[in-house]
Amino acid sequence: MAYNSAEDLWYQYFAADGPQWLMLFFMYGFRALWASIGILFDLGIVYITVKTPSLRSICNILIATESFCALVLNLGYFVSFFVVASGTKFIRYEHCFWALILPSLFGTLAQPVMVFTGLDRVFAVACPFWYQQRKAKKYLALVSSFIILYGIFVFVVYYLDYMQTKDIMLSCSTNEMLQSSLAPIMKFSGLAMSALIIIVYTFCWFFVFKFASTSQNVTENNRKLNKSLMFIIGLNLIGVFTKIIIDLILQACLVAANVFIHVPYSTVYSFLTIAVYSANAPVLYIMSSEYRARFDQHFPWIVKIYGKIARSTATVMPSATPPRPWIIINNGIGPAMNGGITPRHI
């Protein structure tokens, strides 16, 4: 079915002259600002991995790769902001496909990278002898080959979708892509990857924390690293299942096709995507002593900021006993005013 801009209610409303374009400006502007914070986090992980020899294990490289994917995805959110801020507001899809395909592609590739990061942790604990004897370069080459093949598949789907919808008018936002009949393919692929992530990290949790024969061999640093990864994956899955539930609710209410609900909802969800995909740096800094030491080494100003935050969140418990002004301390001879609870810092 050919695209007709006269039937595109979203385009007709925001392309018209008037103050309504400010809604797009602030919506995409706040998202670009939020993405810039994610970019700083992602750059931090990539930088300390490149600069630190002790962070060159396969697991560390995969974590940095995931952060790099998130970095490229976050850069893509600036395209829509620049289009709207320039006053153009909308351009044809064929003019912004190549500006959007890399962010969308790398954002999609973050999921298989998460899968292989989890597999690396499972192999390290469940098959320690093989893990120590394996050829690291060959293993990385195998992982890279799979990710590249998956990337080719994703690119083909996006390109075929683009060929069917290149005449539509967009603000050049990544969440405006995949509007053809091929969209369910990528949705199913994303759900399949999420299912793999659940399976892999369930095995990881079992071997690291529950199975006595393997958990006893896990060092404290590796245990903290695994906790960090599971927390990050948990955030990712919360985002995935939240989107699924909301999609089902919208479909049940027969409003999924309403563009004035679908587009804002997709944009709001992208804020969650940014937070989840850029969570590596803050989570690893808080939970992993190795990553915290490297961040502090390369970015010493973080120590001051983190210290201020820690001090500001400390709470002093008030005394459980009310003041007793009638008690007089006579140079330590009289009764001591020690009836209260000792202040505790949480």
Residue 29's contacts (CB-CB under 8 Å, 6 or more residues apart) are 81, 84, 85
Is the dihedral angle over the CA atoms 46, 52, 54, 56 positive or is it negative? Answer: positive
Residue identified by tokens 């998202």 is 31
What DSSP letter does each residue of 218-265 carry, written as one string? --HHHHHHHHHHHHHHHHHHHHHHHHHHHHHHHHHTT-TT-HHHHHHH
Q: What is the spatial distance between Cα 126 and Cα 105, in angstroms, rounded to a whole number?
A: 32
Tens digit of each residue's pLDDT (9 = 90 or more) over 234-251: 888 887 777 777 776 766
Distance CA 153, CA 185 (A): 11
Other beta carbons within 10 angstroms of residue 3's beta carbon come to 16
What residue has token string 């080719």?
152
Q: Say whether pLDDT at 49 is over 50.
A: yes
Average pLDDT over residues 78-90: 91
Region 23-48: mean pLDDT is 95
Express each pLDDT in 148-182 by its tens digit: 999 999 999 999 999 999 989 988 988 888 888 88
Q: What is the pLDDT of residues 197-213, one digit of tens each?
A: 999 999 988 888 887 77
What pTM value is reported for the model?
A: 0.82
Q: Residue 47 is inside which H or E element, if any? A: helix 21-51
Q: What's the full length of the chain, in residues?
A: 346
Specify burial of residue 271 (Cβ count, 10 A radius: 0-12, 13-18, 19+).
middle
**Number of other CB atoms surrounding residue 250 within 10 Å:** 16
Please name the residues in contact with 79: beta carbons below 8 A apart, sequence gap of 6 or more.
Answer: 96, 99, 100, 103, 172, 173
Q: At what angle do helices 220-252 and 289-298 cross, to 10 degrees?
A: 90
High-pLDDT (> 70) share of the chain, %: 84
C-alpha to C-alpha distances, 227 to 5, 11, 231, 301, nearest whole angstrom: 50, 45, 6, 26
Q: 114 falls in which pLDDT band (50, 70, 90)?
A: very high
Which one, of 115, 123, 117, lies nearest residue 214 by Cα? 123
Q: Residues 302, 44: contact at Cβ < 8 Å?
A: no
pLDDT for 280 beyond 80: yes
Domain annotation for the chain: domains and CATH numbers:
23-304 (1.20.1070.10)
Burial class (CB in 10 A: 0-12, 13-18, 19+), 245: exposed
Which pLDDT belongs to residue 345? 35
